[in-house]
Amino acid sequence: MGLDQYVTLGRSGLRVSPLALGAMTFGEDPGAAGTSVEESEKILARYLDAGGNFIDTANFYTNGHSEKILGDFFTASPGRREHLVVASKFFGNMYPGDPNGGGAGRGSIVAQLDQSLRRLQTDYLDLYWLHNWDRNTPIEETMRTLDDLVRAGKIRYVGFSNTPAWVTAQAQTTALLKGWTPLIALQVEYSLLARTVEGELAPLALDQGMALTPYSPLRHGFLSGKYRRGADVTDSARAAFVGGPSEAEFVVIDEVTAVADELGTSPAAVSLAWLRARKGTVVPIVGARRVEHLESNLAALDVQLTDEQFGRLDEVSAPTLNYPAPLHGRTRAMLQFAGTTVDGETSTVYPPLLQSDVRY
């Protein structure tokens, strides 16, 4: 399988590669753990030459330099941009002292979009993400503004990132009831080492036909293969900020490594293949600071996990979800089905119901 084996992104007509290229690392601005313009362009060219078409960035990645690098690349390759799916995000405030410089209010969204379009040297975005929940702005103001921008032709599709499920559901319901542009995808942290999204957001996405585009699918590089018990990692930009894996994380890493050895591939490829095999449409966002990092990630497209391997990875990485998720498994079936089998799910009998003739 290759990057040119496209998938439809949620309930939309937008076709994207099975792996998106994340441009968060593009640029070496102060304070940003990024890569040079030259290396960024090599990574971008390799992804595109392999058939990739889905590029993800944000207004404040490397202080706007990420968008600028992409814009310069498109300008140097006339006619290429219109065949790509370019996504960026709004929310981050790049103007200290200005309370309206970021967030999700009408004026700030319009201003942030204009600035992103200028840096990207394009007149529209294929997908525009809310980067984080703005609890100071009514969600209907945000959704109406995004719909206006779609109608104006400045953006084409809308998605949310890092936003609670109840807010996302409210936004989607409001949009559908009012005939505004609905959400087609959610960008969430999701990996074998970060699965709490499965409590609320992933089921919401599946129910509403939204795609999931996981960021940090290798969890700070912990699942890349470079982290082994007793080994020092010296080439990870993230390690300086987040430290190394915990013992619980190493248990998962060990199993991922074992599966990778069985398949003759890398832990990174196994981790991405596991994500892509989840229910619904899941398009992981892969980032890279060097071309070889991208090559390692692309190997995931050729990995096919067996049911047994998938089950092992599922079991060892099973998350502890918040209430009320723990009540939605066995307890729910026991209370609801009373010892019968429904839709292939067999339940036991709730302890008090020991006699079939009990009536109150």
Catalytic residues: 61
Look at strands 15-16 and 7-8 and give their pairing.
antiparallel
Q: By the 8 A CB rule, do 194 and 227 touch? A: no
Distance of alpha carbon 113 from alpha carbon 115, whole angstroms: 5
d(CA 55, CA 112): 18
CA distance 272 to 286: 9
- Of 245, 175, 240, 238, residue with least CA distance to 210: 175
Tokens of residue 307, six digits: 């049911």
Specify the amino acid at residue 36. Answer: S
The answer to whether the CB of 50 falls within 8 A of the CB of 2 is yes
Q: Residue 346 carries which side chain, given as an amino acid letter?
A: T
User: Is the CB of residue 297 less than 8 Å from the CB of residue 269?
Assistant: yes
3-state secondary structure of 20: strand
Binning the chain into helix, strand and coil, the percentages to the nearest 5 are 40, 15, 45
Conformational region of residue 246, where left means phi above 0, alpha means psi within -120 to 50, and beta covers everything else: beta
Taking the C-alpha atoms of residue 24 and residue 67, their distance in angstroms, rounded to an integer, is 9
| 113: nearest Cα among 145, 80, 78 | 145
- For 72, which DSSP code? H
